[in-house]
Amino acid sequence: MTNIIPKNKHAVIRFTKLVLNKSYLDTVTYEDVDQVRDLISQKLQTQSPKDIQKFYNFEYSDFGMFIKKCLGLKLKTSKEAVTNFYAKMGRTSCDAKAKYRELCSFTFDPFAITKIPGYDLLIENGIYHPHHNLNGVCRDHIVSVDFGWRNDINPQILSHPANCQFLLNSDNSKKGNACSISVLELERRIYYWNLSADLLPVANTHKQLPKTQEHKDKISLSNSNKMNVTNGCVNLRIKKTDLIPDGFKRGLTRKNKNKASEPV
């Protein structure tokens, strides 16, 4: 039984020769491939597939797939890669989550894509601003970033425009870190998006993630520093250190108790 790699394994042969600095006429054995596999496995502990491909100047359309399918190596998830990077930089997991959230952010012009759900709300109300436009809309992740972080979902999926909807800021605050659809449904939306077809509707049956104790403590602390004031018609929630607006007093107007207080 020969130990030479079959000639139809073109990519493996070419990459092995490149890494081991073999000449064009040299044969490639299974031992050679094992040596390359061990070397690339070590590099993956600190480098991304893109970095490795660039280092060897190896032309391949999807080098990550080459590593998995041709070399039989397992790649890190997006979350593992980000966490590993920050760990080696001596940073905390909070830094890694912040970087993940950054990778999941939408980068497109909000006014450029008219087929995003809630676009009419955007035109009518404009973009939310905490001081200049309290009634504006936010770009909401239909499958939330928190859910993606906890389940190792590729940020490229969550940052896709098909994962975006426009919600009034008040509705976005109520939704929190909930998901309106499943990841499978999101993948279908991306598929239809890439076909330039109409997007599937969003049911908005939110799937709320359980709050961590840290999150609960932050909410409790935030609530302890605020108070309700009313003028008999409108309820506002303000910081305890803020001056009560003219015409307002502490408390809630009963008929509005079930309505969300307006932020100031």
Residues 109, 158: contact at Cβ < 8 Å? no
pLDDT at residue number 132: 84
> Tokens 């950054």 sit at which residue?
102
39-95 pLDDT per residue, tens? 888 888 777 788 888 888 888 888 888 888 888 887 766 556 666 656 555 555 567
SS3 sequence, 85-153? Answer: HHHHCCCCHHHHHHHHHHHHCCCCCCCCCCCCCCHHHHHHHCECECCCECCCEEEEECCCHHHHHHCCC
- If phi over 0 gives left and psi between -120 and 50 gives alpha, with beta otherwise, what is residue 19? alpha
pLDDT at residue number 82: 62
The amino acid sitting at 101 is R
0.75 surpassed by pTM: no
CA distances to 100, 112, 255 from 250, in Å? 41, 44, 15
CB proximity list for 156: less than 8 A, separation 6 or greater: 103
Residues 56, 18: contact at Cβ < 8 Å? yes
CA distances to 23, 124, 163, 164, 257 from 202, in Å? 57, 20, 10, 10, 29
Residue 248 has pLDDT above 80, yes or no: no
Percent of the chain with pLDDT over 90: 14
200-213 pLDDT per residue, tens? 445 444 444 555 56
Helix (H, G, I), strand (E, B) or coil at 183: helix
Helix (H, G, I), strand (E, B) or coil at 173: helix
Distance CA 2, CA 28 (A): 11
Helix (H, G, I), strand (E, B) or coil at 67: helix
